[in-house]
Chains A and B, each alone.
Chain A
């Protein structure tokens, strides 16, 4: 019986992989469901096992099962891992994703699984923390805080009860790496969390997954059950979010697990000192924790050997939106934005020119192609008025209206604000109104208060566009520095970058002054 591999990743299923798998099964093949390789243009991708290795075909329709099995299907790809998109990658974290059966403990072990955990358990906890420090790993959720230092803080915190929390509330549009890893290699995340537990002295872990990821929830739960005896005494539990974007913020995520409204907590105290249920807590992104098994099995130096400046190791970059080769591309830091979008991404899917790319999700800046020489690096992006975030890159062609996208950023912030701090809760709504007026070219008349005789300094007439822009920049400034968390604090990034780089989309309202210089 011919063995074939078909992805059961949610993206592959959304493109019809289930029907393809059924058809192959009905045609007599032994179907193994894997995660996704990560190039979605090829999905549904079928790999047929041959004496020379796996031969890929994709995309495949359910009606083509026989053609795939007799090898005559026209979309023959040969060895998928040798395709340029995959050969150029450095897959440390995603080495197994798309290759193995995600829920097979045998597969996981045969592909290097549990070696990191075994190495960690052979070390004193402090030595394991030191290995993560030596790797230079920084938080992959977006903030880029050094993971080893966070672990050290929890390691040093007194108390008998500590927690490991995995932030799998991957709500940023343009990102899907957490989802792919949880669906394609769940044991890797479990191993990373068990290592963290050993390193800091925690016996209980939570994985908080957003409810929009039903496949990941199912796979993680099953994987936890299967690996329970291996990671014991460390105990893991999946918690499911409930559609609140702000719960991706670490402190509101903790409140959500505690059964409360997902409102942001003021920091300090840091979660590392007083986190879940008031206990010292390591809270890390999926990708940070999933990078740890490699670091422990291969050594922190091997991980740190790749990278750029203070950004060490690899980043699973996600190419999304209107891009030809959309998917997951894990590579060392330092690659330029242009290489990612044009060379690897292949430009837009629509074939039109790229107008803008948004890096780092709904709170990330929009960059024009003139800035494509930016190296992928936390510091370089910060200096350019943006952020790497969770490394999602959303590509837009020249039909996009950037004033509309700036408005959407404010609207999204208003929709998702937890309401705890004023700049975010109210500023976002005022921002929508301001941008609406700019788009419509309307002039706002003075309100009742401004017309009072006491308001001698209030402008008498309608505000001209220039003043409206000034007001928008001022509002962004307040949100940026006055908000409690990144939702209100980073919403100005897409708004101001759209304004700075694409002033023509805001009509006659040219930028009054640039905030990018800050």
Chain B
């Protein structure tokens, strides 16, 4: 059982479960109740709630008439789906070969030092999540990053400082 669930009261869980049920019912209207709607539905739930709460799994499973194991299997297979809330801002640094060829490793090192986070971690105040991404398709102008929904190319230490300053201010 995840830490977030343990932190919650039972009443809180019930409220959340109601929110999730309403959202899933709405999404079934949009996407249909076939198993093939699972990924679009999970994307929409994560967009709305920020992550895929374990409490969503039975609701989604019953809406699509598949097992909870099927849903859990999909949630845990794909790197995009988070089972914990992310920070308010997401910094994703590209780690793939083309960015490596342009010095991404050094940028990653500086970013982890400045933010005091390892890759995959969220800052204790919930402000920033630092993540790796394997290729954004901007391979001639690396090192690259996605800061929330904004792509940034040719990141050097000075750009990185400015970006981190903006995010942590």
Chain B residue, CB-CB nearest to A259: B38
Are B77 and A394 in touch, CB under 8 angstroms?
Answer: no
A187 at the interface (CB under 8 A from B): no
Are B36 and A392 in touch, CB under 8 angstroms?
Answer: no
Are A173 and B97 in touch, CB under 8 angstroms?
Answer: yes
> For B133, B141, B144, B152, which residue has the most chain A Cβ atoms within 10 angstroms?
B141
Task: Collect the chain A residues with CB atoms within 8 Å of residue B79's CB.
Answer: 242-244
B7 to chain A, nearest CB (A): 26
- A346 CA to B68 CA in the complex, in Å? 54
Task: Collect the chain A residues with CB atoms within 8 Å of residue B74's CB.
Answer: 259-261
B167 to chain A, nearest CB (A): 17
B84 at the interface (CB under 8 A from A): no
Are A242 and B136 in touch, CB under 8 angstroms?
Answer: no
Query: Given the known A-B contacts A15-B154, A261-B73, are A394 and B138 also in contact in the complex, defined by CB atoms under 8 Å?
Result: no
B23 at the interface (CB under 8 A from A): no
> Which one, B66, B80, B100, B154, contacts A408 given CB within 8 A?
B100
A353 to chain B, nearest CB (A): 14
A250 to chain B, nearest CB (A): 17
B65 to chain A, nearest CB (A): 11
A249 at the interface (CB under 8 A from B): no
Are B153 and A175 in touch, CB under 8 angstroms?
Answer: no
Task: Collect the chain B residues with CB atoms within 8 Å of residue A41's CB.
Answer: 140
Task: Collect the chain B residues with CB atoms within 8 Å of residue A259's CB.
Answer: 34-39, 64, 66, 74
**Binary flags per residue of B78-99, CB closer than 8 Å to A gives 1, else 0:** 1111000000000000001111
Task: Collect the chain B residues with CB atoms within 8 Å of residue A418's CB.
Answer: 77
Are B39 and A256 in touch, CB under 8 angstroms?
Answer: yes
- A394 CA to B137 CA in the complex, in Å? 12
A320 at the interface (CB under 8 A from B): yes
A363 to chain B, nearest CB (A): 11
A436 to chain B, nearest CB (A): 16
A290 to chain B, nearest CB (A): 16
> Which one, A10, A260, A322, contacts B102 given CB within 8 A?
A322
Are B137 and A242 in touch, CB under 8 angstroms?
Answer: no
A130 at the interface (CB under 8 A from B): no
**Binary flags per residue of A237-277, CB closer than 8 Å to B gives 1, else 0:** 00111111100000000001111111100000000000001
B49 at the interface (CB under 8 A from A): no
Query: Given the known A-B contacts A10-B151, A14-B152, are A242 and B135 also in contact in the complex, defined by CB atoms under 8 Å?
Result: no
Are A400 and B101 in touch, CB under 8 angstroms?
Answer: yes
Chain B residue, CB-CB nearest to A246: B77
A141 at the interface (CB under 8 A from B): no
A172 at the interface (CB under 8 A from B): yes
Chain B residue, CB-CB nearest to A180: B137
Task: Collect the chain B residues with CB atoms within 8 Å of residue A11's CB.
Answer: 137-138, 140-141, 151, 153
Stretch from A22-30, A89-97, A210-218, A292-300 at the B interface: A210-218
Are A318 and B36 in touch, CB under 8 angstroms?
Answer: no
Cβ < 8 Å to A, chain B residues 132-152: 133-142, 144, 146, 149-152
Cβ < 8 Å to A, chain B residues 28-65: 34-40, 42-43, 64
A323 at the interface (CB under 8 A from B): yes
B92 to chain A, nearest CB (A): 9
A390 to chain B, nearest CB (A): 11
> Which one, A240, A245, A258, A323, contacts B40 given CB within 8 A?
A240
**Binary flags per residue of A302-332, CB closer than 8 Å to B gives 1, else 0:** 0000000000000000111111001100000
A58 at the interface (CB under 8 A from B): no
Are A174 and B80 in touch, CB under 8 angstroms?
Answer: no
> For A175, A261, A319, which residue has the most chain B Cβ atoms within 10 angstroms?
A261
Are A176 and B138 in touch, CB under 8 angstroms?
Answer: yes
**Binary flags per residue of A396-419, CB closer than 8 Å to B gives 1, else 0:** 110010000100100010011010
A383 to chain B, nearest CB (A): 23
Task: Collect the chain A residues with CB atoms within 8 Å of residue B98's CB.
Answer: 173-174, 320-321, 392, 394
Task: Collect the chain B residues with CB atoms within 8 Å of residue A397's CB.
Answer: 101
Task: Collect the chain A residues with CB atoms within 8 Å of residue B34's CB.
Answer: 259
> Which one, A176, A211, A405, contacts B139 given CB within 8 A?
A176
A188 to chain B, nearest CB (A): 18
A362 at the interface (CB under 8 A from B): yes
- A259 CA to B144 CA in the complex, in Å? 30
- A173 CA to B136 CA in the complex, in Å? 8
Cβ < 8 Å to B, chain A residues 188-220: 211-214
A68 at the interface (CB under 8 A from B): no
- A286 CA to B113 CA in the complex, in Å? 40
Task: Collect the chain B residues with CB atoms within 8 Å of residue A415's CB.
Answer: 134
B107 to chain A, nearest CB (A): 14
Are B135 and A172 in touch, CB under 8 angstroms?
Answer: yes
A512 at the interface (CB under 8 A from B): no
Are B97 and A358 in touch, CB under 8 angstroms?
Answer: yes
Task: Collect the chain A residues with CB atoms within 8 Å of residue B136's CB.
Answer: 10, 14, 212-213
> Which one, A14, A170, A318, contacts B151 given CB within 8 A?
A14
Are A258 and B35 in touch, CB under 8 angstroms?
Answer: yes
Are A362 and B96 in touch, CB under 8 angstroms?
Answer: yes
- A239 CA to B44 CA in the complex, in Å? 12
- A245 CA to B137 CA in the complex, in Å? 13
Task: Collect the chain A residues with CB atoms within 8 Å of residue B70's CB.
Answer: 260
A368 to chain B, nearest CB (A): 15
Are A173 and B99 in touch, CB under 8 angstroms?
Answer: yes
- A172 CA to B94 CA in the complex, in Å? 12
9 A-B contacts (beta carbon < 8 Å): A14-B153, A174-B96, A176-B139, A211-B43, A260-B73, A320-B101, A321-B102, A322-B102, A416-B134
**A residues touching B (Cβ–Cβ < 8 Å)?**
10-11, 13-15, 40-41, 43, 170-176, 178-179, 211-214, 239-245, 256-263, 277, 318-323, 326-327, 349, 358, 361-362, 392, 394-397, 400, 405, 408, 412, 415-416, 418
What 5 new A-B contacts, CB under 8 Å, besides A14-B151, A259-B35? A15-B141, A211-B43, A244-B77, A257-B36, A392-B98
**B residues touching A (Cβ–Cβ < 8 Å)?**
34-40, 42-43, 64, 66, 70, 73-74, 77-81, 96-102, 133-142, 144, 146, 149-154
10 closest Cβ contacts across the A-B interface? A326-B140, A173-B96, A259-B38, A242-B78, A320-B139, A321-B101, A243-B79, A243-B80, A14-B153, A14-B151
